[in-house]
Structure 1
């Protein structure tokens, strides 16, 4: 059984996925996979450097992310080219890692789970939900940005309402870590029960 874990910026996805990992659940993180597919040993990186030129690489041969980000933010057609190259590779690699993962259930963490239709790959959608004012204050503290920038980031994402409508399960992350641990433990038990009834 695959659980898709998502939530808005600064909602606490990483914290929740870490708590599941501590219980021994295998977590596949789309952001980590996205970095893995452009590592120096990967074919995607040579395609990127052929397309954008050698100046897209750092001295050690790895990808200059901030330079690439500048280019694709400024030029929509370059962004589309990059997405067409990377999205299938990321999807393939996520599926490969999920396939290899052992256990009663596993978790796919993806900030854009719903936007990129990755929810088609999972059995249940778990949304980590946080009130917008908490999201804003956490984003400002974590990314050292002003309120209006934090607001822009939140506004650019799928709304809380739509995410919650798509959710099978919701973790309200609006108090302390002890509380969060208890919620994760309860859900873990719930998922173990479902996984057992799947198998029987």
Structure 2
């Protein structure tokens, strides 16, 4: 009899604390962490099909002098235009999905953690066996994002609003990790989630 492999999909809104949770799972529980953001950056590396398509669509000015992507300029386009954001995601998401599948095939351990900010939006829920959402209030999210990336209120709000609302993500999750108070409180919730949710698989 085979036991179902435990694959945790870790998601949330931008700047809600996904990286904090992922780093803790890696350090405290030695879990392998597969990160969609890393694969997305690989997908638009110099010379890739995606970056060539981006340059063709927006012009060579979307590239830096070394041929890499000008992320700030691209962000200014896609976070204010749903059509352009959807087009960009269509260039990147299939490659990110492919990388997840490749990497999971190489791992025999369980659990595995897939950090996917756009887990629902990119329709990757079928890759995981349970979904954890890191939550905080929109006011906290906005303040953290502005501080982290040096954004104006308007720019930060555009990035937050480009994603599915955190409330909807919570409604569709198995575990909600509330990151609205202290780090200690957040990590205690992570400990509880690891030990209780499908504990027989750990």
**TM-score, normalised with respect to structure 2:** 0.79
Name whichever of 120-129 and 153-162 sits farther off.
153-162
Q: Deviations over 1:117-167 (max 9, x none)?
A: 111221111011112222222223223334454444434432233111101
Please identify which structure carries the higher helix content.
Answer: 1
- The residue number in structure 1 matching 2:134 is 128
Match of 1:7 among 2, 7, 12: 12
- The residue number in structure 2 matching 1:117 is 123
Match of 2:44 among 38, 47, 55: 38
Instruction: Note the residue ranges of structure 1 that are not aligned, 5 or more in a row.
Output: none
Distance (whole Å) between structure 2 residues aligned to residue 18 and residue 88 of structure 1: 25
Distance (whole Å) between structure 2 residues aligned to residue 73 and residue 157 of structure 1: 10
Return the offset for 1:21: 1.1
* 1:165 maps to 2:181: no
Q: CA RMSD, aligned part only?
A: 2.8
Distance (whole Å) between structure 2 residues aligned to residue 146 and residue 47 of structure 1: 29
- The residue number in structure 2 matching 1:17 is 22
Instruction: Note the residue ranges of structure 2 that are not aligned, 5 or more in a row.
Output: 1-5
Relative distance call for 1:74 and 1:40 in structure 2 (3 A) is same
Return the offset for 1:3: 1.0
Return the offset for 1:185: 2.2
Counterpart secondary structure, 1:108: strand
1:1-200 matches, within 5 Å, as 1-22=6-27, 23-40=29-46, 42-49=48-55, 55-70=61-76, 79=85, 81-191=87-197, 193-195=199-201
